[in-house]
Amino acid sequence: MGKKIDMTKGKLGGKIIRYTIPLAITGILQQLFNAADVAVVGQFSGKEAMAAVGSNAPVIGILINLFVGISLGSNVIIAKSIGQGDKKQVSKAVHTSIIVALLGGIIITILGEIFAPEVVRLLQVPDEVFPFSVKYLKIYLLGMPVILLYNFESAIFRSCGNTKTPLIALVVSGVLNVIFNLGFVVGFGMDVDGVAIATVLANTISSVILFIALMKTDLSVKVSLRKLRIHKNVLVQILKIGVPAGVQGMIFSFANIIIQSAVNSLGTTVIAASAAAFNLEIFAYYIMNSFGQACTTFIGQNYGAGKNERCKKTLKLCLLQCAVGTVTICVLILIFSRQLLSVFNTDPDVISVGCARLSYIFFAYIFSIWQEVLSGYLRGFGVSFIPALCSVLGICGIRLVWIFTVFGMSPTFETIMQVYPLSLGITALLILIVTIIIKPSKRYFASNKSS
């Protein structure tokens, strides 16, 4: 199922697009799981249930992003090994990744079921929303093993240039997710528990489809049940790259939790508006993120194959194509923002606040383009700690200081939104400066020649 893209030969521009488009659509469909939850409960269960689903997004993000980052470590190791032609190392990394996903998901599920109420309390969710939020979070976390498994399986396919197979699996499960949502909420009269169960079932289906595909594939990433175990040396390499990337994602989500707490303090209307807007702005984010992942994988394979010039060209093309794609989707969403927001909730106040949020966020995405692609470029060479450190300082640090100082003096929605372009702009500048100083292409290829 699906064919790999040869990243080390031929013209790069078209191959990057072929790789990125299915990846971006896959990310968008994943977000549609949550968007479908928000839309269904918003239309059929009211603002409180809708706010409950939306307020949980940063919490879910901080849990998932750690292991999505670790899966990126798998992506880099597998891609580099493919470039080097080391099939044995590829197999070890693939089977180690599967076990890490399942064990990580089980651990998160257990901890989540124990501490869900305390986590929701930290978000300062209004009393009328609190029981809905706890119920949704507990059910959602039951599906963490299959959710993480899907993300690791997708990373395995991406590492060899196959982004279509994860997309096919997600299209199937995405359609079923919408059907399950409507069936549980409209048909059986459930609220947030119905959409949470639907999401878990849909993710189970997508992960099973990919696992079967990995067992049947003719590619070097083929999975065998008897080979499933953790290889210590490979795990160390994956964690060396993946943990900093995961921490970066967690920090990003942690900063969003702080911001979500501030948003929650402004009332149910603002919470609902932010939830609706988030499910639109994330579409543009996945365009950027996909080009960042494409940059990582193309760099990884070409670095492994010793092709320096293709690494340099990959960076330039990813920046240009990412800018064009991101700006296009942002403009389209802004033009139809009111109509799109009304899909989630028809309250005029919710729509008005949602439009304001989209304007701030999309302006900030100008800087995110640089942040995502340059971070992906550095990770392709195995440089993962530095982008994470820049994010700690530029995103988490600034947002924490801003919320506890500026927002404290002027507790308005506009004050919250102003921190997005400020923090992302500084982070992008830090990563750009570091990239210029390090010059990874020159340094790492020189290192390879000397060894």
User: How does residue 451 score in pLDDT terms, banded at 50, 70 and 90?
Assistant: very low
User: How does residue 79 score in pLDDT terms, banded at 50, 70 and 90?
Assistant: confident
- Picking from 61-65, 398-402, 412-416, which range would have the lowest pLDDT averaged per residue? 61-65
pLDDT mean over 104-112: 90
Mean of per-residue pLDDT scores for the chain = 86
Instruction: Tally the residues of the chain.
Output: 451
pLDDT above 80 (res 34): no
- 363 vs 349: CA distance, rounded Å: 22
Residue 149 is predicted with a pLDDT of 94
Residue 450 is predicted with a pLDDT of 44
Higher pLDDT, 361 or 303: 361
pLDDT above 90 (res 422): yes
Q: Are 200 and 112 in contact (CB under 8 A)?
A: no
Q: Residue 227: count other Cβ atoms within 10 Å of its Cβ.
A: 14
Residue 83 is predicted with a pLDDT of 84
pLDDT above 90 (res 59): no
Cβ neighbourhood burial of 405 (10 Å; 0-12, 13-18, 19+): exposed
Collapsed DSSP state (helix, strand, coil) of residue 305: coil
pLDDT mean over 91-118: 91
- Picking from 142-151, 248-257, 262-271, which range would have the lowest pLDDT averaged per residue? 248-257
pLDDT mean over 390-408: 89
Residue 70 is predicted with a pLDDT of 85
pLDDT above 90 (res 129): no
Residue 33 is predicted with a pLDDT of 65
% of the chain surpassing 90 pLDDT:
39
pLDDT mean over 423-432: 93
Residue 447 is predicted with a pLDDT of 52
- 214 vs 249: CA distance, rounded Å: 27
pLDDT above 70 (res 3): no
Burial 157-184 (b: 16+ CB within 10 A, else e): bbbbbbbbbbbbbbeebbeebbebbbeb
pLDDT mean over 193-212: 91
Q: Tokens representing 380?
A: 């392709």
Single-letter code of the amino acid located at 348: P
Residue 305 is predicted with a pLDDT of 83
- Picking from 158-172, 248-262, 386-400, which range would have the lowest pLDDT averaged per residue? 248-262
